Amino acid sequence: MQQHDVVRHHATPLGNPAYPPVNPRFTDREYLNIVYRTDYDALRAVVPEPLEIDEPLVRFEVMRMGDVSGYGPYTESGQAVPVRYEGERGEYLHAMYLDNFPATASGREASAYPKTAGSPALYVDHGALVGVLDHGSVRVATATMGYKHHELDPGEAAAQITVPTYLLKLVPGYDGAPQVAQLVRTRITDVVVKGAWTGPARLQLSAHALAPMADLPVREIVSASHLLTDLTLAPVTPVHDYLAH
């Protein structure tokens, strides 16, 4: 392979890249969202400046991807934190766990999503919508919500998931020092809300050294939603360079 051919490739291995060169469209992406109140000091310890926190809230999510162009179906779970940046309200993605390696590699390399391996699931059990996350054989999170108890306004549902999203992009150099250290911004676009519901909900988090969701403990359930959507993820845009400050 000649030198000019190398830069035509988007990822390694060159003969079998870890993820495809696509901007994926998500069809039948199903959410279980539970917003809860946590400890302010615990939240401030993990949310990077210059992001600002008004209330100590966290959105726990389990997402079942019905179909994703380039990746196929998979399931993902994580925590997002409501924040402000230069007066704009959005969310900071704190952690994401999923069961699809190409989607994990693409999210980390091509964008800045904090993705790592996990075993989440979303299903209905005796009138309850259940979302769980396992790390290996250990249960890390269990979320339950009454299944389709009350319809939610589609506009309100779309507003929950289309706020600007902030991510931390960290890439070390070969000496271990940071080569890229940026705060980036993206958001969900082209949203179609196919169904939206709310109901009673509970969330239990268990301590795990490699999936420390419980470091942001549940103090009070604020709201819950169950959404069925189609959507697209916009490319990320850098908004703050830590190496320049």
Cis peptide before 13 (omega within 30 of 0): yes
Q: What is the sign, positive or negative, of the torsion defined by CA atoms of 66, 164, 44, 104?
A: positive
Looking at 115, 148, 169, 194, which residue is catalytic?
A: 115
Active site residue 194: no
125, β-bridge pairs: 128
Are 37 and 56 in contact by the 8 Å Cβ rule? The answer is yes
Catalytic residue positions? Answer: 115
